[in-house]
Amino acid sequence: MTNRVLMLTASILAENGQSKALADHFIARTEACDGVEVTHRDLVAEELPHLGLAELGSWQVPAEERSDEQRELVARSDALIAELHDHDVIVLAVPMYNLGIPSQLKAWFDRVMRAGVTFRYTENGPQGLVEGKRAVILAARGGQYAGTEKDTQTPHLKLMLGMMGITEVDSVFAEGLNMGGNHRENALKEARQAIDGLVERL
Ligand SMILES: Cc1cc2nc3c(=O)[nH]c(=O)nc-3n(C[C@H](O)[C@H](O)[C@H](O)COP(=O)(O)O)c2cc1C
């Protein structure tokens, strides 16, 4: 049984977010299992800034030559990478905003995807250095996209995870949440059932 789950949430609607509701359901189900510990990181509350040149540049400077500011900037990414390594299952609760992932979640990936640290370039292409993890995507969307080329989120997330070596990825979709009728209720019910099934197999 897996025992350490890192839950990343990124809804700007905070507690009213549907992806947060899915995350809460996932957490409640996993915490009912023996020996499971969940770390929750709210990437909206966290307010990671966009990745900029000073921070990117600080990664290139040898540790013993870094200024105080550079040490602080490197520490931000180092801490998130250490947290990633420290968990067995990475759960991404992902709202769809303007046909993409929330910029807050992208800011997290921009900190943990570090050449030479979580992946390295080889003559055969990038090689992931984060081993032994699996990931789960909990996707909340107003419309319906899963399985079509309009799903810009899942392929992007899988590529980023895969580049770091996380290739075992399950997805749960709650779609059509803003389409009226029974769409929302049915989609959320089916998503909760899918989560129950996943948690049993963790
Ligand atoms: C700023 C914003 C942009 C959105 N853009 C899209 C979109 O492009 N496609 C879509 O299907 N739903 C879109 N929606 C609807 C959200 O995907 C839906 O409300 C979902 O529940 C968001 O997840 P959350 O409730 O966890 O925040 C958008 C919502 C907001 C607030």
Q: For position 104, what pLDDT does the model report?
A: 98
Nearest CA to 142 among 85, 99, 199, 172?
99
User: Is the model more confident about 88 or about 2?
Assistant: 88
Mutate to test the pocket of ligand 1, among 24, 43, 44, 141 (most ligand atoms within 8 A of CB): 141
User: Is the model more confident about 105 or about 16?
Assistant: 105
- Domains of the chain with CATH codes: 4-201 (3.40.50.360)
Q: Please report, as a single letter, which amino acid is at residue 188.
A: L
Q: Quick check: 201 pLDDT over 90?
A: no
Ligand 1 contact, 140 CB (< 6 A): yes
| Residue-wise pLDDT tens digits, 163-191 | 999 999 999 999 999 999 899 999 999 99
Q: Quick check: 1 pLDDT over 90?
A: no
For the four alpha carbons of 164, 192, 195 and 85, in that order, the dihedral sign comes to positive
Q: Using the mean position of ligand 1's atoms as its centre, give its distance from the Cα of residue 160 in Å.
A: 21
Q: Quick check: 80 pLDDT over 60?
A: yes
Q: How high does pLDDT run on average in the chain?
A: 96
CA–CA distance from 166 to each of 2, 88, 115, 173 (Å)? 15, 10, 15, 20
Q: Quick check: 2 pLDDT over 90?
A: no
Q: Which residues contact 168 (CB under 8 A, 6 or more apart)?
A: 133, 134, 135
End-to-end CA distance of the chain: 7
Q: Report the percentage of the chain scoring pLDDT > 70.
A: 99
Q: For position 11, what pLDDT does the model report?
A: 97
Q: For position 109, what pLDDT does the model report?
A: 98
Average pLDDT over residues 44-61: 97
Q: Quick check: 69 pLDDT over 60?
A: yes
| Residue-wise pLDDT tens digits, 129-153 | 999 999 999 999 999 999 999 999 9
Q: Which residue, judged by its Cα, is nearest atom 28 of ligand 1? A: 97
